[in-house]
Amino acid sequence: MSYFEKVNKVEFEGPQSTNNFSFKYYDPEKVVNGKTMRDWLRFSVAYWHTFTADGSDPFGAGTMIRPWGHLTGLDLAKARVEAAFELFEKLDVPYFCFHDVDIAPEGSNLKETYANLDIIVAQIRDYMKTSKTKLLWNTANLFTHPRYVHGAATSNHADVFAYSAARVKKGLEIGKELGAGNYVFWGGREGYDTLLNTDMKLEQENYARFLQMAVDYAKEIGFDGQLLIEPKPKEPTKHQYDFNVATSLSFLQKYDLAPHFKFNVEANHATLAGHSFQHELRVARINGMLGSVDANQGDQLIGWDTDEFPTDLYSTTLAMYEILKNGGLGKGGLNFDAKVRRGSFDPNDLFLAHIAGMDSFAVGLLVASQLIQDRVFDDFIVNRYKSYTEGIGLDIVEGRADFHTLESHALTLSQIPNESGREEHLKSILNQYLLKTLTEV
Ligand code: XLS
Ligand code: NI
Ligand code: NI
């Protein structure tokens, strides 16, 4: 049975192609900077947005027309798996991701929920025997159900803490069974809405205890995937503890958890935190903590996580710049934590949206790799900091300077020759590289 009968396997046809169901820039076998596009980009489909979500929003009902939409319960869950592997194969996408509740319905108690999960995980495992698509990461949804109203690991209620631990325990077991490359913690309810009822200190300590127990359990069962924290400053909670990469890193360091975790950086979460996507990737990268990416984009005019498919070529280029500088994403990937707009309700839009996102990141890869190869920004930056390679600057970075020697040096200065940072010029070079790459493909 086919769910997307009218869509054939999507192939690279180049920018001249008029076939909407083809890649214009993403050429999986093309070698860029020593690796294939497929291996640099490591695309992943997010199960929740593509197979589970129905397009409902706080003001309106679901709009999505889905070939599995008439089913319920486990039948629905099974049909989604079938549809998912059909889409993975037609897009030739190497990875996918899911939350436990995306793949199987919750039962009336934990045992029933486990039983439902076991049925669907077995079905997924069967598909994975012959499919090329692997599991990038899975996670436990610790935010939708009313029990998480006051948080999960940071709930005021110890039973919720225990229940959440059970779900993560099961999640790690599923991750191991399906060979997941990573396991994600996104704490949508780990934070507070008002300090008037919140013991922030206890909540944060409990969160650290929870993560340590997860580390211990992963080790106990031999789960060798990378554990990832996905920061987000707010939404649904007013203030989330994993606010951004820098805040989360300090938290991990304080509790000696940093060696066990990396970050899953999401573009729209970066902008919600008042940062650029590139900023968050850079902070993670320079600290050796860049694990994986939730590839999407927000909307400048809307103040929440719109999770749009990434089409902004500046953003994909600067993201790929960081990823290339990182030497790639290791076990991570570019997961389209992105949803088609409510008005894009046709099943074909699922393909067209992924094609748009994949082509946009392929362009980003091409442009970024050229920028790096030509040392466009590198040379500029090296030159900009050259005062640290000699004299007093070298004394500073090599630890020979103190306030006495610095004052003596300062007293000899008459005028300090600052130079222009050339921001506009650098941006115009970026434009040139973008346009040049686009015409050369
Ligand atoms: C929500 C998050 C979520 C995580 C996984 O904003 O992006 O989808 O990626 O729980
Ligand atoms: Ni995400
Ligand atoms: Ni998000």
pLDDT digits (tens, 9 = 90+) for 275-291: 999 999 999 999 999 99
Q: List the structure tokens of 123.
A: 């079905």
Residues 257 and 300 sit within 8 Å (Cβ to Cβ): no
| Beta-strand relationship, 31-32 and 35-36 | antiparallel
Number of Cβ within a 10 Å radius of residue 419: 7
Q: How far is the CA of 231 from the centre of ligand 3 (A)?
A: 9
Q: Among residues 99, 275, 279, 354, which one is catalytic? A: 99
Give a yes or no: residue 1 inside a domain. Answer: no
- Does 102 participate in catalysis according to the annotation? yes
Residues making up the chain, counted from first to last = 441
CA distance 33 to 370: 9
162, 289: one domain: yes
Q: Give the ligand with the smallest distance to the CA of 99.
A: 1
Going by the annotation, the residues of the binding site are 230, 266, 269, 294, 305, 307, 337
Number of domains, the chain: 2
State which ligand 1 atom lies nearest to the alpha carbon of 305. 6
How far is C-alpha 378 from the geometric centre of its chain's CA atoms? Answer: 26
pLDDT digits (tens, 9 = 90+) for 87-104: 999 999 999 999 999 999
Residues 426 and 417 sit within 8 Å (Cβ to Cβ): no
Nearest CA to ligand 1 atom 10: 186
Measure the CA dihedral 131/132/135/136, to 10°. Answer: -160
**Is 186 near ligand 1, meaning CB less than 6 Å away?**
yes
pLDDT digits (tens, 9 = 90+) for 131-179: 999 999 999 999 999 999 999 999 999 999 999 999 999 999 999 999 9
- Does 57 participate in catalysis according to the annotation? no
Q: List the structure tokens of 282.
A: 């850079």
Nearest CA to ligand 1 atom 6: 305
- pLDDT for residue 1 is more than 90: no
Nearest CA to ligand 1 atom 4: 186
Percent of the chain with pLDDT over 70: 100
State which ligand 1 atom lies nearest to the alpha carbon of 335. 9
Instruction: Give the domain-ending residue among 346, 374, 402.
Output: 374
b/e per residue, 301-320, with b = 16+ CB within 10 A? eeeebbbbbbbbbbbbbbbb
Task: Print the SS3 string covering the chain.
Answer: CCCCCCCCCCEECCCCCCCCCEECCCCCCCEECCEEHHHHHCEEEEHHHHHHCCCCECCECCCCCCCCCCCCHHHHHHHHHHHHHHHHHHHCCCEEEEEHHHHCCCCCCHHHHHHHHHHHHHHHHHHHHHCCCEEEEEECCCCCCHHHCCCCCCCCCHHHHHHHHHHHHHHHHHHHHHCCCEEEECCCCCEECCHHHCCHHHHHHHHHHHHHHHHHHHHHHCCCCEEEECCCCCCCCCEECCCCHHHHHHHHHHCCCHHHEEEEEEHHHHHHCCCCHHHHHHHHHHCCCEEEEECCECCCCCCCCCCECCCCHHHHHHHHHHHHHCCCCCCCCEEECCCCCCCCCCHHHHHHHHHHHHHHHHHHHHHHHHHHHCCHHHHHHHHHCHHHHCHHHHHHHCCCCCHHHHHHHHHCCCCCCCCCCCHHHHHHHHHHHHHHHHHHC
pLDDT digits (tens, 9 = 90+) for 182-220: 999 999 999 999 999 999 999 999 999 999 999 999 999
Q: How far is the CA of 259 from the centre of ligand 1 (A)?
A: 23
- pLDDT for residue 299 is more than 90: yes
Q: How confident is the model at residue 441 (pLDDT cuts 50, 70, 90)?
A: confident
252, 305: one domain: yes
CATH number of domain containing 48: 3.20.20.150
56, 203: one domain: yes
Going by the annotation, the residues of the binding site for Mg(2+) are 230, 266, 269, 294, 305, 307, 337
Give a yes or no: residue 231 inside a domain. Answer: yes
**Is 339 near ligand 1, meaning CB less than 6 Å away?**
no
Give a yes or no: residue 120 inside a domain. Answer: yes
**Is 86 near ligand 1, meaning CB less than 6 Å away?**
no
389, 293: one domain: no
Give a yes or no: residue 57 inside a domain. Answer: yes
Q: How far is the CA of 421 from the centre of ligand 2 (A)?
A: 34
Q: Among residues 102, 242, 275, 279, which one is catalytic? A: 102
* 434: containing domain: 377-440
Instruction: Give the domain-ending residue among 350, 374, 398.
Output: 374
287, 318: one domain: yes
310, 342: one domain: yes
Give a yes or no: residue 7 inside a domain. Answer: no
Give a yes or no: residue 14 inside a domain. Answer: no
Instruction: Give the domain-ending residue among 332, 349, 374.
Output: 374
396, 279: one domain: no
Give a yes or no: residue 134 inside a domain. Answer: yes
pLDDT value at residue 308 = 98
410, 333: one domain: no
288, 384: one domain: no
Ion ligand 2 residue ranges (Cβ < 5 Å) = 266, 294, 337
Q: List the structure tokens of 142.
A: 């610790």
- pLDDT for residue 379 is more than 90: yes
Closest CA to 441 of 387, 365, 341: 365
Q: How far is the CA of 380 from the centre of ligand 2 (A)?
A: 34
Averaged pLDDT, 116-130: 98
**Is 263 near ligand 1, meaning CB less than 6 Å away?**
no
**Is 337 near ligand 1, meaning CB less than 6 Å away?**
yes
Mutation test of ligand 1: which of 294, 309, 336 has the most ligand atoms closer than 8 Å to its C-beta? Answer: 294
Give a yes or no: residue 15 inside a domain. Answer: no
CA distance 400 to 364: 42
Q: Give the ligand with the smallest distance to the CA of 269.
A: 3
**Is 100 near ligand 1, meaning CB less than 6 Å away?**
no
**Is 139 near ligand 1, meaning CB less than 6 Å away?**
yes
349, 232: one domain: yes
381, 316: one domain: no
Give the predicted TM-score (pTM) of the model: 0.98
337, 361: one domain: yes
Residues 170 and 100 sit within 8 Å (Cβ to Cβ): yes
pLDDT digits (tens, 9 = 90+) for 235-269: 999 999 999 999 999 999 999 999 999 999 999 99
Sign of CA dihedral 198, 199, 201, 202: negative
**Is 280 near ligand 1, meaning CB less than 6 Å away?**
no
Nearest CA to ligand 1 atom 2: 186
